[in-house]
C-alpha cells in the first residue's frame, strides 16, 4: 500500500512513495539539516580521536524553539522550580550535560537526515509513478530517527506540546496557513507508526 511501510524478508522495510511525497520528505530533511547546522570542518576536527570524544559543545540551550525541542535540557526545566537554589543546580547540571552530549546528538541527527536524503536520491520511479524504497534494518532505524526529528520540528513550529493538541488541527479550514504543515505532521506520524510496527514485527 502506498505511504505505508511493510516488512522485507530478512529484515528492513519498504514503502512506495510518489514524486510529491519524495519531494516533501527530501525538502523537510534538507531544512532539518540547515537548522541543525554543519558539522565541524575537516580543518577544525581534532586529529586525536580521544580529544574529539571529549570535545566540548554548547552549554546553553538553543534559543530557536525547534532546536530546543530537538535538544532539550536533560534535567527538569529550571524555571519550573520554585526553589532558587534547586533551579541553579538544575541549570548547572543541564549545562554540564549539554556541553558533553550535544555535539554527538547533532551529529547523529545530521547523519539520519543525510541517510534519508541519500536513499531518496537513489530512487527511480517505477510503475504508476511510484518508487519503492527498500531499507536495511540499519537504514530503517536512521529513517525512524529522522521521521521523529521532523515531527518534533514541525510540532514545535505548530506549538504542539501533547498529542492531544492535534485534535483541533483536524478541524482547521483549508484556508488556514497552518494546514499544509499540519497535514505533513499527521502524514509523517502515519509513516513513523507503520515503520515502528514493521521493525517490531
Q: What is the DSSP string of 141-190?
A: HHHHHHHHHHHHHHHHHTT--SGGGHHHHTT--TT-TTHHHHHHHHHHHH
Domain of 148 in residue numbering reads as: 6-200
User: In 3-state terms, what secondary structure has residue 134?
Assistant: strand
What is residue 47's three-state secondary structure?
coil
Going by pLDDT thresholds of 50, 70 and 90, the confidence category of residue 142 is very high
132 three-class SS:
strand
How much of the chain, in percent, has pLDDT values that exceed 90? 46
pLDDT digits (tens, 9 = 90+) for 97-128: 777 788 888 999 999 999 999 999 999 877 77
How does pLDDT run across 36-87, given as a tens digit for each residue?
987 655 445 555 555 555 556 666 778 889 988 998 877 666 556 567 777 7
3, 16 contact by CB (below 8 A) = yes
The pTM of this model reads: 0.82
Smallest Cα–Cα separation from 32: which of 133, 108, 137, 136?
Answer: 108
57 domain-assigned: yes
Tell me if 132 is assigned to some domain.
yes
User: Has residue 59 been placed in a domain?
Assistant: yes
In a domain, 42, yes or no: yes
What is the predicted pLDDT for the residue at 156?
93
Can you give the pLDDT at residue 163?
Answer: 67
> 1 in a domain, yes or no?
no
Does residue 72 belong to any structural domain of this protein? yes
What is the rounded distance in angstroms from the CA atom of residue 133 to the CA atom of residue 184?
Answer: 19
**Nearest 5 degrees, angle CA 18-CA 196-CA 70?**
90
Pairwise CA distance, residues 82 & 80, whole Å = 6
Number of domains in the chain: 1
Q: Could you tell me which residue, 147 or 11, shows the higher pLDDT?
A: 147
Amino acid at each position: 500500500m502506498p505511504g505505508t511501510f511493510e516488512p522485507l524478508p530478512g529484515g528492513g522495510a519498504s514503502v512506495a512513495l510518489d514524486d510529491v511525497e519524495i519531494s516533501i520528505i527530501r525538502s523537510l530533511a534538507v531544512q532539518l539539516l540547515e537548522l541543525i547546522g554543519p558539522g565541524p570542518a575537516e580543518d577544525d576536527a581534532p586529529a586525536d580521536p580521544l580529544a574529539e570524544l571529549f570535545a566540548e559543545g554548547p552549554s546553553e540551550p538553543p534559543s530557536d524553539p525547534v532546536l530546543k525541542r530537538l535538544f532539550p535540557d536533560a534535567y527538569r526545566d529550571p524555571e519550573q522550580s520554585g526553589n532558587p537554589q534547586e533551579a541553579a543546580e538544575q541549570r548547572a547540571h543541564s549545562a554540564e550535560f549539554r556541553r558533553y552530549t550535544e555535539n554527538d546528538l547533532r551529529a547523529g541527527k545530521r547523519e539520519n537526515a543525510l541517510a534519508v536524503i541519500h536513499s531518496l536520491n537513489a530512487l527511480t520511479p517505477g510503475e504508476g509513478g511510484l518508487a519503492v524504497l527498500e531499507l536495511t534494518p540499519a537504514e530503517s532505524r536512521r529513517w525512524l530517527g529522522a521521521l521523529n526529528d521532523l515531527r518534533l520540528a514541525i510540532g514545535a513550529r505548530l506549538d504542539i506540546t501533547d498529542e492531544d493538541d492535534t485534535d483541533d488541527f483536524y478541524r482547521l479550514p483549508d484556508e488556514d496557513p497552518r494546514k499544509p504543515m499540519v497535514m505533513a505532521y499527521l502524514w509523517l506520524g502515519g509513516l513513523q507508526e507503520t515503520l515502528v510496527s514493521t521493525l517490531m514485527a
